[in-house]
């Protein structure tokens, strides 16, 4: 199990409770991931209470072995026979395991826009939530708060929606109204994406006079620090398409809904376990509908925000789904490989290595024989894509059920039929 956030721990516990050992590899010194910075979700769940209970169960379960401050040095093997070398506070550990679950979580973009880092009145949604929970005086005394959505997201560099930002902003707006009912709150959005029944909270916020103002990407909000009647404020200017003119809002606090971004280690991890990344550098499932928690590489699964940004209940549901797929695998005594795999005719192989270069699954390697190095195919890793077949200069490697003889016979059978038609 790679990743010790909520999804990783839920998946690990679910597997361990069925009697299987789990090795939980966490890159930080503490479990919990980004959830440590979230106090509650929009539906009202106390995240910290849930998280602490989850961490306690992980440490108390004798079948879950936790590695803190850990990095993966090497990952080899295949379904049912993986070997992963982990460097952690325990030293170097070599773990033999039958399946792998990737639950590396997500990071938050650190804004460079809107004076973030220069003025302490500008903060991210996580920082704002923390300030609300701690009853920060800046918020209890604030007259106006502006929330700017889609900061460095849904643009050319990050052409995706972070999904959680809209609900986070509505949640913080409702919490602010509880803390300071007189505060004016403005949410500057491109599209409010409140999924399913979360739409009810959007309506609740609107009923409490939270104002929603839409902006276009080519006319983003502008901000400057000014003094208005002796009161230092952050003046946010944005076009209002309902009024048909620009409006200026003097805010005491500005919140930035910063993009959810993939962790830096995703690319290296994808190479170690031979799994795919999406164009946005999140992990890509084998099939969105048919295999939503699996990779093309057998025995490797994913869950949580390693997949893409999602809400905590969604991450938990996917963690149980991944655990179910792992348990289905571990409950078997044998693994059945596909019949459509490649096979090498040793006498024809010249050991050029062209097949090894093009195999994206690492299924081919050299084997020392009396005639020198010869290519050999691991049938468990082979996916039968046929690239090696097309690259082999001597025809030594053939894809079963798609051999040259079979293909040529099919062509010969087809050509007379075409001649008769014409």
pLDDT (tens digit, 9 = 90+) per residue, 253-279? 999 999 999 999 999 999 999 899 999
Q: Phi and psi (nearest 5°) for 307?
A: -75, -55
Higher pLDDT, 383 or 3: 3
What contacts 193, CB < 8 A, 6 or more positions away?
161, 163, 166
Residue 408 in tokens: 């040529």
**CATH architecture of the domain covering 342-421:** 2-Layer Sandwich (3.30)
What pLDDT, on a 0 to 100 scale, did the predictor assign at position 267?
95
What pLDDT, on a 0 to 100 scale, did the predictor assign at position 418?
61
Task: Report the distance separating Cα 309 and Cα 165, nearest Å.
Answer: 10
* Residues 338 and 383 sit within 8 Å (Cβ to Cβ): yes
How sure is the predictor about 422, in pLDDT bands with cuts at 50, 70 and 90? Answer: low
* Dihedral angle, C-alpha 99, 2, 37, 313, nearest 10 °: -20
Task: Tell me the per-residue pLDDT of 121-169, one tens digit each, with 9 for 90 and over.
Answer: 999 999 999 999 999 999 999 999 999 999 999 999 899 999 999 999 9
Q: Helix 6-16 crosses helix 47-60 at what angle (to 10 degrees)?
A: 40
* Residues 134 and 114 sit within 8 Å (Cβ to Cβ): no
How sure is the predictor about 380, in pLDDT bands with cuts at 50, 70 and 90? Answer: confident
What pLDDT, on a 0 to 100 scale, did the predictor assign at position 340?
82
Average pLDDT on 327-336 reads: 88
Count CB-CB contacts under 10 A for residue 194: 16
Task: Report the distance separating Cα 141 and Cα 133, nearest Å.
Answer: 15
Q: Helix 199-207 crosses helix 165-179 at what angle (to 10 degrees)?
A: 40
Report the range of poorest mean pLDDT among 177-186, 324-333, 379-388: 379-388
What contacts 160, CB < 8 A, 6 or more positions away?
153, 154, 280, 308, 309
Q: Is 342-421 in the same CATH topology as 6-106+262-330? A: no
How sure is the predictor about 87, in pLDDT bands with cuts at 50, 70 and 90? Answer: very high
Mean pLDDT, the chain, rounded, equals 93
CATH class of 108-260: alpha beta
What pLDDT, on a 0 to 100 scale, did the predictor assign at position 360?
83
Nearest to 163 by CA among 260, 37, 301: 260
| Residue 269 parent element (H or E) | helix 266-272
Task: Tell me the per-residue pLDDT of 5-50, one tens digit each, with 9 for 90 and over.
Answer: 999 999 999 999 999 999 999 999 999 999 999 999 999 899 999 9
What pLDDT, on a 0 to 100 scale, did the predictor assign at position 222?
96
* Residues 174 and 39 sit within 8 Å (Cβ to Cβ): no
Task: Report the distance separating Cα 330 and Cα 324, nearest Å.
Answer: 10
* Residue with the two structure tokens 């959680």: 164
Label residue 31 exposed, middle or buried (CB < 10 Å: 0-12, 13-18, 19+): buried
Task: Report the distance separating Cα 277 and Cα 359, nearest Å.
Answer: 17
What pLDDT, on a 0 to 100 scale, did the predictor assign at position 420?
62
Which spans in 115-219 are helix H? 125-133, 137-140, 165-179, 199-207
Count CB-CB contacts under 10 A for residue 246: 11
Q: Helix 125-133 crosses helix 165-179 at what angle (to 10 degrees)?
A: 30
% of the chain residues with pLDDT over 90: 79
Could you tell me the residue ranges of all domains in the chain? 6-106+262-330, 108-260, 342-421
Tell the CATH topology of 6-106+262-330.
FAD/NAD(P)-binding domain (3.50.50)
Using only C-alpha atoms, what is the Rg of the chain?
27
Task: Tell me the per-residue pLDDT of 197-234, one tens digit each, with 9 for 90 and over.
Answer: 999 999 999 999 999 999 999 999 999 999 988 899 99
Q: Is the dihedral of CA 264, 104, 129, 242 positive or negative?
A: positive
Average pLDDT on 81-92 reads: 95
Report the range of poorest mean pLDDT among 5-19, 135-149, 312-326, 350-364: 350-364
């Amino acid at each position: 199990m790679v990743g010790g956030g909520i999804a990783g721990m839920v998946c690990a516990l679910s597997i361990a409770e069925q009697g299987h050992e789990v090795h939980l590899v966490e890159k930080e010194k503490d479990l919990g991931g980004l959830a440590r910075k979230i106090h509650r979700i929009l539906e009202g769940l106390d995240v910290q209470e849930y998280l602490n209970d989850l961490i306690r169960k992980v440490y108390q379960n004798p079948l879950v072995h936790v590695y803190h401050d850990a990095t993966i040095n090497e990952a080899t093997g295949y379904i049912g026979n993986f070997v992963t070398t982990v460097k952690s506070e325990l030293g170097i550990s070599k773990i033999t395991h039958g399946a792998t679950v990737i639950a590396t979580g997500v990071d938050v973009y650190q804004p460079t826009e809107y004076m973030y880092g220069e003025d302490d009145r500008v903060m991210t949604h996580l920082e704002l939530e923390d300030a609300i929970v701690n009853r920060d005086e800046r918020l209890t005394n604030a007259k106006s708060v502006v929330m700017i959505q889609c900061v460095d997201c849904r643009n050319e560099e990050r052409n995706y929606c972070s999904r959680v930002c809209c609900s986070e902003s509505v949640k913080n707006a409702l919490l602010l109204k509880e803390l300071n009912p007189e505060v004016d709150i403005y949410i500057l959005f491109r599209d409010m994406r409140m999924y399913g029944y979360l739409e009810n909270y959007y309506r609740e916020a609107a009923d409490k006079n939270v104002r929603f103002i839409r902006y276009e990407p080519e006319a983003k909000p502008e901000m400057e620090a000014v003094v208005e009647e002796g009161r230092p404020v952050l003046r946010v200017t944005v076009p209002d398409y309902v009024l048909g003119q620009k409006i200026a809002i003097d805010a005491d606090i500005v919140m930035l809904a910063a993009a959810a971004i993939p962790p830096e280690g995703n690319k290296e991890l994808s190479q170690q376990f031979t799994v795919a990344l999406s164009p946005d550098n999140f992990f890509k499932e084998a099939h969105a509908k048919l295999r939503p928690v699996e990779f093309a590489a057998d025995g490797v699964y994913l869950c949580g925000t390693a997949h893409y940004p999602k809400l905590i209940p969604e991450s938990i549901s996917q963690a149980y789904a991944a655990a179910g797929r792992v348990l289905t695998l571990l409950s078997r005594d044998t693994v059945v490989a596909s019949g459509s795999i490649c096979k090498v005719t040793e006498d024809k192989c010249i050991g050029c290595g062209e097949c090894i270069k093009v195999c994206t699954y690492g299924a081919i390697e050299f084997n020392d024989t009396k005639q020198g190095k010869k290519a050999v195919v691991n049938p468990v890793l082979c996916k039968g894509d046929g690239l090696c077949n097309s690259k082999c200069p001597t025809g030594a490697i053939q894809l079963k059920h798609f051999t040259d003889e079979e293909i040529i016979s099919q062509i010969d059978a087809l050509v007379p039929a075409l001649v008769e038609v014409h």
